[in-house]
Structure 1
């Protein structure tokens, strides 16, 4: 018997699909027959699994957190008492359409042989022995060499023959980025600091001269490719200070934190990525004519708009991998009588990153 050739095609050649809530993954199972073949059933399965690893060891742990299967042939409308029998198909190419719904939530069943006891000890995830972890589908990471890997696979299964059946399978990995529903911007996050300068070089004491508030809009909920809304508000806290404050340095860094767990062991990795660094801005902030405690606002027009890179993996959490982000903003100010005194302000904002 000449066996068919199986291939999987996604619509519009989407090797890296993004999925919004209630979207479907659409494609075809392609059968190339060179001779008549009896086909009993064709089905496709989309599944996802997480793999956590620990540096310096061979320890790893894998969990399947998502699986959905759809019968392509025969279709549900064709099912009857004869559906268990095979259908003979002549030699040519056949294309069977499939459409798999993406789930907004998934359920992870704890494997008793792969760390059920250790899962109950992860207090930060609040997992109890009688429960399964539920949450949003995590995005693909696409990096098999990393400590945290999320893999989605699309599998086609073709059952051939009548009484003596033979099952052929074809599998391919897909890159999956679930997106979030649009929502109204949340309240801004604001960190407030004070800057002091000595009024004279020989002075040993400093008094509060300026108040600085660094604001991150949208409540820290950011999307890939989206503008990062940062504002700086400066107030004159000391009415006797009539000098000009200078914003000289501006830096924004993204801090990625990944917690991976294998059994009872856990490991933390941090990656730092500079998004914008500017020096010698020499941006003068004159508050002499403003009432005390009235703020002057500097938007990102002063240092150029900044967008979140699109090659970042969005925030996610599974039963053994947790990835979070912080945005670090560093500002360098110059002040004092001769503008020789430098003050550095550094704040960190917890942020949630989603695919857009």
Structure 2
């Protein structure tokens, strides 16, 4: 026996509104009785944190509320952010035949069962109606073609009631994410279960993973405004070197008593005052880093940065940019029940310590003149493909900050041995510029229909246009209407009398109506706006544009690195 899943035209990663198509290939060496074959499309956001000791400040993790367990124990939280089930066997041909055991024979050989899913836009764990309907065993929310041998037919699916006790948010599906073993991960799977009825026969299971990268939200309109990080700086004033004095001996001579009370050489070597004409004036400038407002970066693309130097004081001395480093800081906030932890990642986007870029065009520049630093340093340096877009899931979120470190030198940067000339020795300072809130988008443009619809109804959840059911009218006004007798709790209200019908011409039923019903039942909640849009929209890729590179998961088929009791 062998099971494998073959995906049709598998891309490097999937995204929202993509069709996940493939085949379940089942190879049998002998005839087998199979009750059903179920394919599941799943996505999990799993976190696990250690319960801190409230009396130990060194223990990692921040507690907000009562202890979810004894100190030192590990508590996990598993959110089913994506869950879709499709039964591929028995098909219509096998279902039309009656089987007393709830199973159907499959002959030796290779059998293929196609499946097809469409990835949703938002996570599924935040929908209580969808989660409450999931679960059961063969006919009670599960999948089964019959009672099975000794009533044990059916395939066990997820118990959605566990999700109802967790805190949820309605957001776009997060990207695949690993790198925090035993603490947090986001994975997407395709699982297949072959149900074999009988006490001594176990079900066959197989799964494969795939990478997922979400579409980006609608980008804000371009307004021309800029967010900036600005910092002025001034070098330390310096003076020319005084002529050296020769000492007669290794030890300085003591001042004679009553001979002036001090060492004349020490008084002569004192540093001159800042008002002295021999003091060289120190340059003062202002560096500012500017980003489009709101600051939005794109995966696998350079940072849209502008670096501007502004002259503050009238000084003919030149200032050079000798080093430049740009770091993207990722802050991942992990939550498990009421325990919080923060993980910091740092990506060095650009680093160059061998620069010599003047920050003024000429010594005669007036005060207040600005110079834009050439962007050759970073315009060809895209973000690493391990940078995931910003996201917020129920128990996991990622945000970013940008840090720029500038090395500024007064004078010519030293390239060889240090010189004895003080004017040739450069004075260097390092200036940090920090952006505390930046967004990273995936670069996958959503369909135009989705963008237009989000402007109208986003972020509320609307339902399909079903007219409300009006209450029955009465001939008596509400003020003088008599009180209705109380109805028993376990007794259904009486149905209104139907007009007499001719037995030769029975009334026609509308599609989906049961005998005796005059209106369609609206007991189940209608699909949300996002679900309705996801079924009608096409994917963001039309086959002409290449997909950006993303390797947030090193190996999507690697075993999970979370604790065994993660759910």
**TM-score, scaled relative to structure 2:** 0.51
For the pair 1:331 / 2:331, whether they are aligned, the reply is no
Provide, for residues 281-301 of structure 1, a one-character-per-residue CA deviation record: whole Å limited to 9, x for no partner.
121122445554342212331
Cα shift at 1:137: 1.3
SS in 2 for 1:281: coil
Q: 1:140 aligns with which of 176, 199, 220?
A: 176
Aligned to 2:232: 194
Provide, for residues 170-225 of structure 1, a one-character-per-residue CA deviation record: whole Å limited to 9, x for no partner.
23241322232486585643212212234544549999832222123584333332
Gaps of at least 5 residues in structure 2 are 51-59, 61-71, 129-159, 240-272, 412-422, 443-547, 549-567
Aligned pairs for 1:119-198 (under 5 A) are 119=167, 132-143=168-179, 145-160=181-196, 168-181=203-216, 188-198=226-236
CA RMSD of aligned residues (A): 3.7
Cα shift at 1:30: 0.6
Between the aligned partners of 1:91 and 1:112, the Cα distance in structure 2 is 39
Provide, for residues 319-340 of structure 1, a one-character-per-residue CA deviation record: whole Å limited to 9, x for no partner.
2222222121111112277673
Aligned to 1:264: 338
Between the aligned partners of 2:288 and 2:219, the Cα distance in structure 1 is 23
Between the aligned partners of 1:50 and 1:11, the Cα distance in structure 2 is 26
Gaps of at least 5 residues in structure 1 are 120-131
For the pair 1:50 / 2:45, whether they are aligned, the reply is yes
Cα gap change, 1:146 to 1:245, in 2 (>3 Å): farther
Which entry has the higher C-alpha Rg, 1 or 2? Answer: 2
Aligned to 2:24: 29
Cα shift at 1:115: 10
SS in 1 for 2:359: strand
Between the aligned partners of 2:44 and 2:114, the Cα distance in structure 1 is 25
Aligned to 1:108: 125
Aligned to 1:273: 347
Cα gap change, 1:304 to 1:178, in 2 (>3 Å): closer
Between the aligned partners of 2:73 and 2:28, the Cα distance in structure 1 is 44
Number of residue pairs aligned between Structure 1 and Structure 2 = 335
Q: Which structure has more strand as a fraction of its residues?
A: 1
Between the aligned partners of 1:95 and 1:189, the Cα distance in structure 2 is 56
Whether contact under 8 Å (1:59, 1:262) holds in the other structure is: no
Q: 2:433 aligns with which of 340, 347, 355?
A: 347
**TM-score, scaled relative to structure 1:** 0.78
Between the aligned partners of 2:389 and 2:39, the Cα distance in structure 1 is 27
Cα gap change, 1:315 to 1:68, in 2 (>3 Å): same
Between the aligned partners of 2:86 and 2:98, the Cα distance in structure 1 is 16
Cα gap change, 1:277 to 1:165, in 2 (>3 Å): same
Aligned to 1:73: 89
